[in-house]
């Protein structure tokens, strides 16, 4: 298929007026959106605006909700305070100070990412990497700490807004290589961000090519976590270095590694354009696999039909559904989160509508402090209604796949809302978790 070249153009908060002028939105709504954009960074691009968003369906269109700020994404009081400042043309510095104050209240680093996941090497913390589960190391390349558009639910937003003490990135590609070489048990390297695919191919190669040498034979899989196939598929099709990128992917595969593109898709609309299909086709032609994941989000994809259709389209395109996440507790969480029981119902009703090839999707999963906890279901055991839970990944590997039980709670939205069932006072892993965290806190 011949796709016409598109050159990227970014939009930010100063463009909100012009982007929204021909919609039916009221002036007050637009002011509310601008207020939210002072706190949660707003960025989108011409592909999202021209090809993904259905402008006949504003403001409910899921891609519009996903990338554009919405007044309800901040608590009323805080939003109104900013709206007042904006409508009174308050000094920029004052607006910024208030926005930063609100940001700090939004729990920027959930699940102990900073305190407990940064490993040490020769007694020094290794910057820009996280090592939580034995097999897999996460790498945050410095140049990949941005995205083609920003998701309004994103928990990584502190990385985009320049709150320096919240930044989290490796300064150079060499710094993590010693660490990998000294840990022969690591099999997977996951490049993440932001979005590492915002880097030029030549920059990306600086992280990937060294891993193809014999010193890194223990690294079997290179994963790249990215939203680019959804937000800027031209990266793989018509960008200047798109063909170089495909050659790099081929090289990884030819060296005998598994290359896994971990693609974030929140909605089937993101798979439904000619260039999105072409990007998938081209990536797969290199021998790379595409695995897909997303959180379940109110206002965007909180229906079983949406997930079933998305998984079906992914399988049809040759992608492998991987995780359905529960929204993390950060940022505009009140706006997006849904009760755990609802997330499980959506999963259960969606998974029955797809063939076995779509049932590789696991979920709903909470990526929490002790590990990745999946809600296996709701059951009644010995007269008590309970959530059945288990770990898919854990700080202590032996916790995996051991069923455990929490008292049913229709309003719970996260692991720390849950209480052990059957009158127990702790979940089975909790004492050991405390020990592990104390040990880590002493080391860092
Ligand atoms: C999810 C996750 C991984 C990868 O887990 P897999 O189950 O292997 O996909 C690695 N590190 C962290 C911190 C994670 O949250
Ligand atoms: S693409 Fe990923 S990292 Fe970037 S804003 Fe969206 S969720 Fe966050």
SS3 track for the chain: CCCCCCCCCEECHHHHHHHHCCCCCCHHHHHHHHHHHHHCCCCEEHHHHHHHCCHHHCCCCHHHHHHCCCHHHCCHHHHHHHHHHHHCCCCHHHHHHHHHHHHHCCCCCHHHHHHHHCCEECCEECCCEEEEECCEEEECEHHHCCCCCCCCCCCCHHHCCCCHHHCCCECCHHHHHHHHHCCCCCCEEEECCCCHHHCCHHHHHHHHHHHHCHHHCCCCEEEEEECHHHHCHHHHCCCCCHHHHHHHHHHHHHCCCEEEEEEECCCHHHHCCHHHHHHHHHHHHCCCEEEEEEEECCCCCCCHHHHHHHHHHHHHCCCEEEEEEECCCCCCHHHHCCCHHHHHHHHHHHHCCCCCCCCCCEEEEEECCCEEEEEEEEEEECCEEEEEEEEEEECCHHHECCCEEEECCCCCCCHHHCCECCCCCCCCCHHHHHHHHHHHHHHC
The pLDDT value given to residue 429: 98
Structural domain contains residue 82: yes
The residue behind tokens 């040759």 is: 318
- Ligand index nearest the alpha carbon of residue 44: 2
The pLDDT value given to residue 168: 47
The partner residues of 419 in beta bridges, in order of sequence, read: none
Domain ranges, residue 69: 10-104
The pLDDT value given to residue 271: 98
Structural domain contains residue 322: no
Structural domain contains residue 369: no
**306 close to ligand 1 (CB < 6 Angstrom):** no
The pLDDT value given to residue 280: 98
| Distance in angstroms (rounded) separating the CA atoms of residues 420 and 424 | 6
| Distance in angstroms (rounded) separating the CA atoms of residues 132 and 116 | 8
Q: How many CB atoms lie within 10 A of CB 316?
A: 12
Substitution site in 190, 368, 370, 392 for ligand 1 pocket (most atoms within 8 Å of beta carbon): 190
Look at strands 120-121 and 124-125 and give their pairing: antiparallel
The pLDDT value given to residue 104: 82
Please list the ranges in the chain whose pLDDT falls under 70. Answer: 1, 107-115, 155, 157-159, 161-174, 329-331, 443-444
247 Cα: distance to centroid of ligand 2 (angstroms): 26
Structural domain contains residue 80: yes
Structural domain contains residue 83: yes
| Distance in angstroms (rounded) separating the CA atoms of residues 72 and 247 | 44
- Ligand index nearest the alpha carbon of residue 197: 2
- Ligand index nearest the alpha carbon of residue 155: 2
Closest residue by CA, ligand 2 atom 7: 154
Q: How many Cα atoms within 13 Å fall on the side-chain side of residue 76?
A: 0
> Which is it for the CA torsion 367, 373, 375, 381, positive or negative?
negative
Structural domain contains residue 420: no
Residues 172 and 210 sit within 8 Å (Cβ to Cβ): no
Structural domain contains residue 86: yes
Residues 66 and 58 sit within 8 Å (Cβ to Cβ): no
Question: Which tokens sit at 189?
Answer: 């390297």
**156 close to ligand 2 (CB < 6 Angstrom):** yes
| Distance in angstroms (rounded) separating the CA atoms of residues 372 and 444 | 23
The pLDDT value given to residue 163: 54
Structural domain contains residue 234: no
Look at strands 188-191 and 136-139 and give their pairing: parallel
366 Cα: distance to centroid of ligand 2 (angstroms): 17
Atom of ligand 1 nearest to the CA of 367: 15
Reference 302, options 75, 32, 85, 62; nearest CA is 62
**142 close to ligand 1 (CB < 6 Angstrom):** no
Write the CA distances from 59 to 31, 420, 438, integer angstroms: 14, 40, 47
Domain count within the chain: 1
């Amino acid at each position: 298929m011949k796709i016409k070249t598109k050159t990227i153009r970014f939009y930010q908060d100063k463009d909100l007026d012009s982007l929204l002028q021909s919609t039916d939105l009221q002036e007050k709504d637009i002011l509310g959106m601008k207020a939210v954009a002072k706190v949660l960074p707003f960025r989108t691009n011409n592909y999202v605006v021209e090809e993904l968003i259905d402008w006949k369906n504003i403001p409910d269109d899921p891609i519009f909700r996903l990338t554009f700020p919405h007044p309800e994404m901040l608590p009323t009081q805080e939003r109104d305070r900013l709206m007042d400042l904006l409508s009174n043309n308050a000094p920029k510095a004052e607006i910024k100070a208030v926005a930063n104050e609100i940001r700090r209240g939004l729990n920027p680093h959930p699940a102990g990412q900073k305190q407990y996941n940064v490993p040490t090497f020769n007694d020094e913390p290794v910057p820009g990497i996280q090592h939580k589960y034995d097999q897999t190391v996460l790498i945050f390349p410095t140049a990949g700490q941005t995205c083609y558009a920003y998701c309004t639910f994103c928990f990584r937003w502190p990385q985009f807004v320049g709150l320096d003490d919240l930044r989290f990135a490796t300064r150079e590609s060499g710094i993590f290589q010693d660490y990998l070489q000294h840990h022969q048990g690591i099999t997977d390297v996951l490049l993440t961000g932001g979005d590492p695919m915002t880097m030029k191919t030549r920059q990306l190669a600086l992280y990937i090519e060294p891993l193809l040498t014999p010193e890194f034979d223990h690294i079997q899989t290179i994963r790249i976590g990215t939203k680019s196939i959804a937000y800027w598929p031209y990266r793989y099709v018509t960008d200047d270095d798109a063909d170089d990128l495909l050659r790099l992917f081929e090289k990884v595969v030819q060296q005998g590694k598994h290359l896994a593109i971990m693609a974030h898709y929140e909605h089937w609309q993101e798979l439904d354009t000619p260039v999105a299909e072409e990007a998938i086709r081209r990536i797969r032609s290199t021998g790379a696999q595409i695995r897909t994941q997303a959180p379940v989000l109110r206002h965007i994809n909180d229906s079983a039909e949406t997930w079933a259709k998305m998984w079906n389209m992914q399988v049809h395109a040759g992608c492998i559904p991987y995780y359905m996440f529960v929204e993390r507790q950060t940022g505009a969480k009140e706006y997006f989160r849904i009760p755990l029981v609802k997330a499980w119902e959506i999963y259960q009703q969606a998974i029955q509508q797809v063939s076995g090839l779509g049932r590789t999707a696991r979920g709903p999963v909470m990526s929490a402090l002790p590990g990745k906890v999946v809600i296996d279901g709701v059951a009644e055991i010995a007269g008590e209604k309970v959530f059945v839970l288990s770990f898919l990944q854990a700080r202590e590997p032996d916790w995996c796949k051991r069923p455990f039980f929490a008292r049913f709670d229709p309003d719970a939205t996260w692991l720390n809302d849950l209480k052990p069932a059957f009158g127990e006072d702790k979940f089975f892993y909790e004492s050991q978790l405390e020990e592990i965290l104390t040990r880590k806190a002493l080391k860092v």
